[in-house]
């Protein structure tokens, strides 16, 4: 349940992947007219979308937590709530990045599909953290889904006593008798809530920074190391006009 909840939070703002490919022509025209800078446009558009996304994530977390029968503990609910909000932020940042590095809608959708499917494969649910190959460990560390699912599962499982009557020694059908055993088996022990939230925020900031640089320099005709463009309304220097005067014109003017 936690895995699919975090996956849903990653896709909850999927429409934003089309935002910057759609707005790029408008931005270029108005930026060249001197109406605003790149940072003002980019950050204003990002901030304008945040309230709706956070509201949707918070409503889902509040309703789904109790519907799924999780523990009636305020701290565990807070963990689930803020992890959902963190995944909304990180997922939105990733989708904005995909939109900024793509030239059109089709490219943005392709990039988003590749990144989200890759992160979903290594989110700790389909392949547990202890079974991830060493060559793919970097995906686990950069994967906000893995951080959220690991921390959320750890928070919910720790403190559980008997799992569905598995405390009975004669219950041979049970794989795990206590929640802590499941945490250790899936490799969730080393990803506590605070560490996961910090990692998710860092991933979000890095993704938005890269998205800003991509939006500013890709498909705009601007070089990354180019000098500062002239300000709007500033007059460009005019080269002196050199004319050649013939001898006839010179004598005629003297006469």
- Give 205-246 pLDDT, tens digit per residue: 999 999 999 988 887 666 555 545 544 444 444 445 445 556
CB contact at 8 A, 52 and 128: no
Give the Cα separation of 174 and 198 in Å (integer).
Answer: 35
pLDDT tens readout for residues 11-48: 888 888 888 888 888 888 888 888 888 888 899 888 88
User: pLDDT category, 162, cuts 50, 70, 90?
Assistant: low
Nearest to 10 by CA among 211, 200, 180, 187: 200
Residue 254 has pLDDT above 70, yes or no: no
Q: Which two tokens stand for residue 210?
A: 């890269």
Mean pLDDT across 167-177: 61
pLDDT value at residue 141: 85
Say what the pLDDT of residue 238 is: 46
The per-residue pLDDT for range 71-127, each reduced to its tens digit, is 888 999 999 999 999 999 999 999 999 999 988 888 888 999 899 888 888 888 787
The band of 161, judged by pLDDT with boundaries at 50, 70 and 90, is: low
DSSP secondary structure of 177-236: SSHHHHHHHHT-TT--HHHHHHHHHHHHHHHHHHHHHHHHHTTSS--TTPPPPPPTTPPP
| Average pLDDT score, the chain | 81
Of 225 and 249, which is predicted with more confidence? 249
Structural contact between residues 19 and 95, judged by C-beta atoms closer than 8 angstroms: no
**pLDDT confidence of 156, banded at 50, 70, 90?**
confident
Res 206: pLDDT:
95
């Amino acid at each position: 349940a936690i895995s699919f909840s975090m996956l849903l939070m990653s896709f909850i703002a999927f429409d934003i992947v089309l935002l910057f490919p759609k707005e790029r022509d408008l931005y270029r025209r108005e930026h060249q007219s001197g109406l605003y800078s790149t940072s003002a446009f980019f950050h204003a558009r990002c901030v304008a979308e945040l309230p709706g996304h956070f509201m949707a994530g918070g409503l889902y977390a509040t309703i789904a937590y109790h519907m799924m029968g999780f523990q009636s503990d305020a701290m565990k609910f807070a963990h689930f709530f803020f992890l959902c909000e963190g995944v909304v932020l990180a997922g939105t940042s990733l989708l904005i990045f995909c939109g900024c590095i793509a030239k059109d809608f089709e490219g943005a959708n392709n990039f988003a599909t590749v990144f989200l499917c890759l992160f979903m494969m290594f989110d700790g649910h389909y392949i547990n953290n202890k079974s991830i190959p060493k060559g793919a460990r970097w995906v686990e560390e950069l994967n906000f889904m893995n951080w959220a699912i690991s921390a959320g599962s750890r928070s919910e499982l720790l403190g559980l006593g008997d799992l569905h009557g598995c405390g009975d020694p004669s219950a041979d059908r049970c794989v795990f008798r206590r929640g802590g055993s499941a945490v250790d088996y899936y490799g969730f022990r080393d990803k506590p809530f605070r560490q996961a939230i910090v990692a998710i925020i860092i991933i979000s900031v890095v993704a938005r920074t890269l998205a800003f640089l991509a939006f500013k320099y890709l498909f705009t005709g601007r070089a990354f190391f180019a000098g500062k463009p002239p300000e709007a309304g500033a007059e460009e220097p005019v080269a002196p006009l050199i004319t050649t005067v013939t001898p006839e014109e010179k004598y005629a003017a003297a006469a």
